[in-house]
Amino acid sequence: MRQILLSTAKILVSAALLYLALRKVDFSDLVSRLGFSGAGWIALAVAVTLLQVLVSALRWREISADCGAPLTVARAVRYCMIGSFFNQTLPSSIGGDAMRLWLVGQGPAGWRAAAYSIFVDRAIGLIALAVLIVASLPWSYRLIGDPQGRLALLLVDFGALAAGGGFLLLGRLHWPWLRNIRAINHLRACSVITGHAIFGRGRGLKIAFLSLLIHVQAIVIAWCVVRAIAAPIHFSEIFLLIPPVMLITMLPISIAGWGVREASMALIFGYAGLATSEGVNISLLYGAVFFVVGALGGLVWIFSVERAEKRPASIELTE
């Protein structure tokens, strides 16, 4: 019952925010701007998104090895493609993670190692994104002159940094009473693995590079969308504005980020003195690109060995 209520709430959030955002969109104008060259840019965006799935799989493979759930490159890529499909079809922004958990957990590694690998992968992605935003703050402040916009940017980014820093600190605490709380004990184990993955000499630089590359690829995808509709926006502006939106979209309060992403894009474009309607246009096409890749992931799932052998009776999503 609780899960049904949460899913219903997410559907309502996405629907309400999409309704408010879509009022700013002239669909006939948007379609007219998508000519032959625009279709080429969208195709390039899909190709970069597929490359992003590959890079994400490579990072997850490195993390999974530290968690005791080793994966081959082919299996990691296949699971990430399947995850991209379920991200678009399940009423949760973590639907793909739940599916990846099921796929790895039913193997010899076990559910604990599978859950650790997914959680650590998410945590490292969040920390890398927050660091990227902090590093670009001097330029973001030049672009966003609105005091409220600057304050919102600081609150969102440093909130994410505080969460990431607190999570990493948890692994260094050796208070005996922490071991008596099962949930915190698991978090501490994930924190230790995350610390080793980020700061370890063996894989640290590789994981950091892959994490930053994933976020840069998301910016490139958005830039391809900008070029597809010939929006009057510079690459530097997209580079500064997309990461905060990505950070907000990671909140599991909507369906695959729909609605939250559009509202956030309109808001941050307004703070930067850009047309809010262009922000919504870019967000819609950006989401459409990921929907196409998700559909390709659905084909991977249909023809996958795992689906042929066994189907999950149910996937319990926990937030």
What SS3 string covers 1-68?
A: CHHHHHHHHHHHHHHHHHHHHHCCCCHHHHHHCCCHHHHHHHHHHHHHHHHHHHHHHHHHHHHHHHHC
Q: What is the pLDDT of residue 201?
A: 74
Over residues 46-67, mean pLDDT: 96
Residue 67: inside a domain, yes or no?
A: yes
- Rounded Cα gap, residues 264 and 295, in angstroms: 25
DSSP labels, 61-73: HHHHHHHT----H
Q: What is the pLDDT of residue 1?
A: 63
Over residues 52-69, mean pLDDT: 94
Nearest residue to 245 (alpha-carbon basis) of 227, 221, 229, 228 = 221
Q: What is the pLDDT of residue 315?
A: 45
- Rounded Cα gap, residues 261 and 281, in angstroms: 11
Residues 251, 88: contact at Cβ < 8 Å? no
In which band, very low, low, confident or very high, does the pLDDT at 319 lie, cut at 50, 70 and 90?
Answer: very low
Q: Is 121 exposed, middle or buried (0-12, 13-18, 19+ CB in 10 A)?
A: buried
pLDDT in tens, 244-283: 999 988 877 777 778 888 889 999 999 999 998 899 999 9
Q: What is the pLDDT of residue 91?
A: 55
Nearest residue to 261 (alpha-carbon basis) of 279, 238, 277 = 279
Residue 24: inside a domain, yes or no?
A: no
Residue 51: inside a domain, yes or no?
A: yes
In which band, very low, low, confident or very high, does the pLDDT at 308 lie, cut at 50, 70 and 90?
Answer: low
Residues 266, 169: contact at Cβ < 8 Å? no
The answer to whether residue 128 scores a pLDDT higher than 50 is yes
Residue 49: inside a domain, yes or no?
A: yes
- Rounded Cα gap, residues 267 and 262, in angstroms: 9
Q: What is the pLDDT of residue 313?
A: 45
3-state helix vs strand vs coil in the chain, percent to 5: 80, 0, 20
Residue 231: inside a domain, yes or no?
A: yes
The answer to whether residue 27 scores a pLDDT higher than 50 is yes
Q: What is the pLDDT of residue 310?
A: 57
Write out the residue range of the structural domain in which residue 177 sits: 30-309
Residue 233: inside a domain, yes or no?
A: yes
**More confident: 319 or 15:** 15
Q: What is the pLDDT of residue 179?
A: 74
Nearest residue to 67 (alpha-carbon basis) of 127, 124, 144, 139 = 124
The answer to whether residue 227 scores a pLDDT higher than 90 is yes
The answer to whether residue 309 scores a pLDDT higher than 80 is no
Question: CA angle, corner 181, sides to 175 and 183, nearest 5?
Answer: 115
pLDDT in tens, 161-206: 899 999 999 888 877 777 778 788 889 999 999 998 888 777 888 9
Residue 9: inside a domain, yes or no?
A: no
Question: 256 — alpha (psi -120 to 50), left (phi > 0) or beta?
Answer: left
Q: What is the pLDDT of residue 318?
A: 40
Structural domain total, the chain: 1
- Rounded Cα gap, residues 140 and 155, in angstroms: 14
Of 107-111, 190-194, 215-219, least confident by mean pLDDT is 107-111
Q: What is the pLDDT of residue 94?
A: 54
Residues 225, 285: contact at Cβ < 8 Å? yes
- Rounded Cα gap, residues 256 and 84, in angstroms: 10
Residue 25: inside a domain, yes or no?
A: no
Q: Is 110 exposed, middle or buried (0-12, 13-18, 19+ CB in 10 A)?
A: middle
Look at the chain and count its residues. 319
